[in-house]
Amino acid sequence: MSESLIGLDRHGDVSWLMSPAGVISDTRVYDPFGDVAAASGMSELTVGFQGDFTDPVSGEVWMGARWYSAADAVFRSRDSVSGELVTPVSLNRYTYGWANPLRYWDPDGHYILQGDGGPGTTEYYGVNNSTDYRKMQERRALAAKGEVAAKATGNAKAFTDRVSESLFGALSNGVGRDS
């Protein structure tokens, strides 16, 4: 795969690739449970749903704690974090986002967040201590800043610097300005 900039949606899913020339070469759309609903382009990516590693053979997603099958909408192993009796759906330790991915998401394979993962996500479920919460917030902050994309592409910072230099250079030379 040639050098590309990876674009993430609000949920952290890899939604598009941009070439150094600024051309969108590949796009992906995911259903709420993470299965690819539509795709264009020929690139074989190893990151996808939630910006996590996707096994190219099985199509399963590594969410940090365990493997998730978007095609089946279940985790492949039981969650080591116990559910709560007051929330019966949490007792099924194989479900993604309490079986309601439009309202909840599971960014690490253990704990549930309410919302789509983008700005405005309000509640965090399954927190056993403040360290777990802090780690989750740090991971979300990195994803929001595009650090996940930078790590996935290997040299994204240099790429974005070159794109920025060429764009800002063109603007400072009057290219694209109305005369």
Residue 152 has pLDDT above 70, yes or no: no
N-term to C-term CA, the chain: 40
pLDDT of 135? 57
Task: Note whether residue 172 is domain-resident.
Answer: no
The verdict on residue 100 lying in a domain is: yes
d(CA 31, CA 72): 12
- Backbone Cα Rg of the chain: 18
77-128 pLDDT, tens digit per residue, is 999 988 888 888 889 999 998 899 888 888 888 888 876 554 444 344 443 3
pTM for the structure as a whole: 0.64
- Position 92 in a domain: yes
Strand positions, DSSP E, 49-97: 61-62, 67-69, 74-75
**144: containing domain:** 5-154
How confident is the model over 19-77, as pLDDT tens digits? Answer: 888 889 899 999 999 999 999 998 888 889 988 999 999 999 999 899 999 999 999 99
